[in-house]
Amino acid sequence: MPALWQYLAIAGIRTVSAFPPGSPQKKGFDWDSTRYLIAFGDSYTYVQGTHGHQNYSFIGDLQNFEYDAETLLADKIVQNQTATAEGGPNWVEYLTGCGLKEGLTSPFDCERQLWDFAFAGSDISVAYTPLHHNYTVSLVNQVTQFTTYGQPVLSQHISAPQTLVAIWIGINDIGDSAKYAVDFPAFYDTLLTTLFASVQEIYGQGYRSYLFVNLPPLDRTPGNQATSQPYPNATQIAWYNDALAQHAAAFHRNHTDTNVHLFDAHSVLSEIMDHPAKYGIVNTTNFCAGYDQPDIAWNYRSYSCPTPLEEYFWFNSGHLTSHVHKILAGVLKGELKKWST
Ligand SMILES: *[C@@H]1O[C@H](CO)[C@@H](O)[C@H](O)[C@H]1NC(C)=O
Ligand SMILES: *[C@@H]1O[C@H](CO)[C@@H](O)[C@H](O)[C@H]1NC(C)=O
Ligand SMILES: *[C@@H]1O[C@H](CO)[C@@H](O)[C@H](O)[C@H]1NC(C)=O
Ligand SMILES: *[C@@H]1O[C@H](CO)[C@@H](O)[C@H](O)[C@H]1NC(C)=O
Ligand SMILES: *[C@@H]1O[C@H](CO)[C@@H](O)[C@H](O)[C@H]1NC(C)=O
Ligand SMILES: *[C@@H]1O[C@H](CO)[C@@H](O)[C@H](O)[C@H]1NC(C)=O
């Protein structure tokens, strides 16, 4: 079982620690026997649920924070043009194969069950950035809600050793705070201290395998490409991603019985943007104005879009296309297989 730092090294991320020598023997991660993915995050990760807030969640919202066992167990993943923030399946759906087909899917009917508590528009905590809406569930609250209402029910149906917990967050935080007058490296460190207090809470429920995803090159959104003063800028993204790598390594050091994988989405997405043709993409500079129109799949030319949506990198001003999510999930799946012992 290679240590975390080896993966970080492969990913090209500097890190502070190696796997401590003489640490107790632990069970390695195994993707093939992973049957459950529990996800937290924002619009990049959320899926629509029949008991969710439309366009925002699989289940509940801030005003409908409490849910019962029946509601969770009967909830179904919706797949259609408006059920994700990318006009089609997103990375957790491609990774698990759960909820890919049009219509409704119960997580229980999937070979790899997807239990997705991400909420679109989420930041880490209201302590640092305001809610996007009064019904937004921050990451900290996603974990509180899961701990209070989700875990007591799910623990009867899924097994922690066969579960991977996936967290992709920070996309809204870095945008919302980009113009703050703060010492950014210290600010990002504080954000991540708060994030990992929530991770600690999940750890306390018996989960031992974790996947963290770093920030995309958000300094290269269509809007940011069009300005000489992007926000966030590349330096800010790098600071945040460094802080995430350090906190992930520290979490692993503090809990040597965990498997921790940091997925360098930033490198993968930068590679796609730099060599789009290799990935069947022609447009990295802009998004198609008619991206949310019901007839966009075939009628894109009438919205002044020279190519179909799947040949675009950006779905809209801040989201990746479903095609890019598919590529990302494919690379990640390869890493998870390699990571398995
Ligand atoms: C969800 O988004 C769709 C498409 O943009 C919109 O028509 C619908 O009104 C939205 N629903 C809610 C509850 O905001
Ligand atoms: C997607 O499915 C939801 C739930 O069944 C439905 O409310 C919504 O109108 C559908 N949207 C499209 C574009 O079919
Ligand atoms: C949330 O905001 C909406 C729109 O501003 C408002 O109508 C609603 O009363 C608010 N709900 C709560 C619980 O604050
Ligand atoms: C990005 O923004 C930060 C904070 O304002 C600033 O310190 C840094 O120099 C900027 N980097 C670039 C490349 O503009
Ligand atoms: C390290 O782990 C202990 C025991 O689980 C926990 O109480 C503490 O908060 C952790 N510290 C950090 C920095 O994660
Ligand atoms: C990229 O998309 C924009 C907006 O749809 C369009 O104007 C532009 O021509 C496209 N560029 C390429 C190379 O397809």
For residue 68, is it within any domain? yes
For residue 291, is it within any domain? no
d(Cα 123, Cα 136) in Å, to the nearest integer?
A: 9
Which atom of ligand 2 is the closest one to the Cα of 54? 7
Q: Which two tokens stand for residue 34?
A: 């992973």
Q: Whose CA is nearest to atom 14 of ligand 6?
A: 283
pLDDT score at 341: 73
Residue 82 CA to ligand 2 center (angstroms) comes to: 7
Residue 80 CA to ligand 1 center (angstroms) comes to: 13
pLDDT, tens only, 237-265: 999 999 999 999 999 999 999 999 999 99
- Global pTM? 0.93
* Domain hosting residue 99, numbered range: 4-281+319-339
For residue 302, is it within any domain? no
In this prediction, residues 130-147 reach a mean pLDDT of 98
Residue 132 CA to ligand 3 center (angstroms) comes to: 12
Distance from chain centroid for Cα 152: 23
d(Cα 175, Cα 266) in Å, to the nearest integer?
A: 16
Is the omega angle on the peptide bond into residue 152 within 30 degrees of 0, that is, cis?
Answer: no
pLDDT, tens only, 166-185: 999 999 999 999 999 999 99
Say yes or no: CB of residue 316 within 6 Å of ligand 6.
no
In this prediction, residues 64-90 reach a mean pLDDT of 98
What are the backbone angles phi and psi of residue 242, rounded to the nearest 5°?
Answer: -60, -45
For residue 253, is it within any domain? yes
pLDDT score at 22: 36
8 Å CB contact between 164 and 37:
yes
What DSSP character marks residue 2? -
Q: Which of 10-14, 84-88, 157-161, 289-293 has the lowest mean pLDDT?
A: 10-14
For residue 303, is it within any domain? no
For residue 52, is it within any domain? yes
**Residue 56: is its pLDDT beyond 50?**
yes
The secondary structure element, H or E, covering residue 109 is: none
Q: Which two tokens stand for residue 211?
A: 């996947």
CB atoms within 10 A of CB 176: 15
Residue 204 CA to ligand 5 center (angstroms) comes to: 10
**Residue 20: is its pLDDT beyond 70?**
no
CATH number reported for the structural domain that contains residue 333 in this entry: 3.40.50.1110
Number of folded domains in the chain? 1
pLDDT score at 43: 98
CB atoms within 10 A of CB 108: 12
Which atom of ligand 5 is the closest one to the Cα of 251? 14
Task: Name every residue whose Cβ is closer than 8 Å to that of residue 96 and which is 6 or more positions away in sequence.
Answer: 37, 110, 112, 113, 114
List C-alpha distances in Å: 135 to 64, 82, 119, 231: 8, 19, 10, 26
Strand partners, 114: 37
Q: How far from each other are the two terminal CA atoms of the chain, in whole angstroms?
A: 6
**Residue 313: is its pLDDT beyond 50?**
yes
For residue 300, is it within any domain? no
pLDDT score at 27: 63
In this prediction, residues 119-137 reach a mean pLDDT of 98
pLDDT score at 1: 32
For residue 128, is it within any domain? yes
In this prediction, residues 317-341 reach a mean pLDDT of 96
Hey, what's the torsion of the CAs at 197, 43, 46, 182, to 10 degrees?
Answer: 0
Q: Which of 119, 99, 118 is nearest to 109 (CA)?
A: 99
d(Cα 308, Cα 2) in Å, to the nearest integer?
A: 42
